[in-house]
Chains A and B, each alone.
Chain A
C-alpha cells in the first residue's frame, strides 16, 4: 500500500572521501550561504519545481557535502526567474548561487 510518502535510500556519505574544493570555493565567494537554514522556501516557490522535481535546497545540500554528480543537469533546469531570491528569509542571492555553482561545475567558459 502506498501512502504517498517516500524515503531516501540509506547511503554511505564519507566526508573524508568527498572533494570539498568546489564546495569551499562557493562558500568563499558567497559567504551568506553559511546562513542557509534549509527552510525550503526556495523550493516551495520555485517555478521549475512546480513542473519537475528540481530542488535548490537539495542541490545546495549536496554541493556543501561535496557531492556534485548530476547537479549541473539539475541546476540547468532553473529558469533563473528569481522568485527564490525574493522569498529567502536569509537574504541569499540565490541566482548568484545558482550561476556560481553552474560556473564552477563547468557550465561556463
Chain B
C-alpha cells in the first residue's frame, strides 16, 4: 500500500485536521443547542422533498452563486469561478486519481498533490485528456483569482462602490486564498518542467521555465514550490473557521435548516442565529444599498459589520441601534440572511424589561378606550397619522363616499400599536400594547382593520393574533373600494410618482395596490429606485442614533429622485414618509388617500 507521503504534506494535513475539527465542533454545538421545536422541525422535514430542494439551492447558490450574478455578472463570475472551480478541481482531481490508480488505496491528500505523486501516468492517452481538463479548471479558478485581485484595485468594475473593511484574520485568510492557486500553478508547472508531460497551461509554463532557469535549478526549486502550496493551503484552512471564509461551509447547513422551516426570532437569540451569522461572507453587497453609508457617511454599522461584531462578541448598543431597518440590504443579501430579525433580537438583548415591568410601566393604559363609532370596520389611524390631519380628513371623505360605517380606534388619542417599542428592542413592552389593542379590537367586534400607517400595519399583521379580522393598509382598502365600484374616481392628466414606504413595501409586500390606485387617478411615473429597491425616507423609527441633519441627507436622496422623474407630485402612503420627504421635495408630496379624496366623483 502506498501512503504517498512526503514531508511537505505535513502543513496541509495539520491545516485540514484543524479546519474540520473546529467546523465540526461548531456545528455539533449549534445543532445540539437548538431548541426542541427546531430539532423537531429538522426530524420532521429531513426525509421530505425539502431536502431535495435544499440540495438544488446549495448547487445554485453555494456553487454557482446565482444571486451574486444578479447583483453584478462579473462579481458573480468571480465568486463562481472560485467556488465552483475549486469544487470541480477537487471532484475531477479525485476522479482523475481514482481512474488512474484503478481502485488502489488513495489517501485524501493524494489528489491534492496528485501531480507530485503520480507523474508516470500522465503519458498515457487518457492521461492527456485528464491533464487538459485539470489545466483548464485551474485556469478557470485563476481567472477568478485575477478578478479578485482586480476587485481589490477597482471594485466599481464589479458594481461595488464601497467594499468591506476586513479584520486581520480575514486579511490573512484572504492573502492565503489568493496565493493558493498561483502556488498550485507554480508547483505543477515546475514538476511538469522537470518530469515532462502536462497540458497547455502547466506544461507550457514548465517548459518555458526549464528554458529560462535550466533543468538543474528547476530540480532544486521544485520541492519548495510544493512546500509553498501546502503551506498556503494550511494557512487558509487554519484561519478559515475564524474568518469570513467560515461562510463556505456554513451556508450549506443554513440552506438546509432554512428549508426545514427554522427561523430566527425577534425576541430571542437562538442557536440557529449562529448559522445565519457565520454564513455571512462579508462580501459587502449590503454596504452600497445602505443609505446611512451613501448619504450620511456612517460606515461601521452596516449589516456586514453588525454581523461581524456580533459574531466576535464585540457588538455595541450604538452599532445595533444605528440602523433604519429599511431592509434594503436584506433584499440584496446573496446569502438571504434575515438581517432585520437578527438586528431586532440583538436590540432586545440590550433591554432588560420583564413582562411584570411592562405591566407596571403601562398600568395607566389599562382600560383606556377612547374609540368612537360603532361600525364593524375599524380604522386605526396611528400616532403619526394623527399629526397629518390631511390624511385623516381624506380618509373620512373616502369612508363617507363608500358609505362605510367606521369604528375609530384612536381618533381622540389612544394606545400605540407597539411597533416603535418593538423596534427599540422593548419586546415585552410592545407585547403590552399588543395585548391592550387586541382586547380593544375584540371588544368592539371589528371584522376589518384599516390603518393609515405602515408601521402599525406590519405589527398588526405579524404580531397581533386577530382571529377573523382582516388587516388592510388604507392603500389596499382604497384599491378594493375602487375595484368593487364602491367609490368612483376621475382620472386626470397629472403625473404622479410613488414612493414605497419601507414597512409597506419591503416590510409587508404591498407594492401593487397603491400603484393600481394611482393609475386610476393619473399617470404613474416610477422613480429610479422603486419597489424592492425603493429608498428610505430616513425618518425610520428604527434608528435610535442618527441626528436630524443625517435624516435630512437621507431624505434628500429621495428628493433628488423625485426631481429627476419630473412628476407633478410624489405620492406615498406613510404619514412619516410624507413628513420627512416634504422637507426636501421640490414639489408636492401627498398621501395616496389625499389624491383619492380629491378626485372622488
Contact = CB atoms under 8 A, between A and B. Distances in A.
A and B pair up: yes
A6 to B, nearest CB: 20
A92 to B, nearest CB: 7
Contact of B544 (A47, A99, A109): A99
Contact of A79 (B421, B539, B549): B421
Question: Among A80, A90, A92, which residue has the most Cβ atoms of chain B within 10 A?
Answer: A80
A20 to B, nearest CB: 22
B562 to A, nearest CB: 20
A47 B413 contact: yes
B386 A51 contact: no
Contacts of B352: 107-109
A64 interface: no
Interface string A77-104: 1011111011100111101100100010
Contacts of B420: 79-82, 95
A86 B365 contact: no
Contacts of B415: 47, 79
Contacts of B71: none
A88 B352 CA distance: 29
Majority secondary structure, A binding face: loop
Given A47-B383, A51-B365, A92 B548 contact: yes
Nearest to A103: B317
Given A50-B413, A86-B384, A91-B549, A79 B433 contact: yes
A99 B347 CA distance: 12
Contacts of A85: 539
A98 to B, nearest CB: 9
B49 to A, nearest CB: 43
Contact of B545 (A52, A76, A96): A96
Interface residues of B, number: 39
B494 interface: no
B472 to A, nearest CB: 21
B312 interface: no
Contact of A47 (B350, B416, B418): B416
Contacts of A82: 383-384, 420, 541, 576
A47 B416 CA distance: 8
Contacts of B353: 107
Nearest to A97: B544
Interface string B467-484: 000000000000000000
B214 to A, nearest CB: 69
A86 B387 contact: yes
Nearest to B421: A80
A73 B317 CA distance: 22
A108 B351 contact: yes
A23 B174 CA distance: 46
A56 to B, nearest CB: 15
A18 interface: no
B31 interface: no
Nearest to B545: A96
Interface in A28-81: 32, 45, 47-48, 50-52, 73, 76-77, 79-81
A73 B545 CA distance: 23
Interface string B329-368: 0000000000000000000011111000100011011001
A99 B424 CA distance: 8
B544 A86 contact: no
B414 A47 contact: yes
B364 A95 contact: no
A80 B364 CA distance: 15
Interface of B: 317, 321, 349-353, 357, 361-362, 364-365, 368, 383-384, 386-387, 413-416, 418, 420-421, 424, 426, 429, 433, 539, 541, 544-549, 551, 576, 579
7 contacts: A48-B364, A79-B415, A79-B418, A86-B579, A93-B544, A95-B541, A96-B544
Given A79-B421, A82-B420, A109-B351, 12 more contacts: A32-B548, A51-B365, A52-B364, A79-B416, A79-B418, A81-B420, A86-B579, A91-B548, A93-B545, A93-B548, A95-B424, A109-B352
Task: List the 3 closest pairs (A to B, CB-CB), nearest first.
Answer: A91-B548, A79-B416, A81-B383
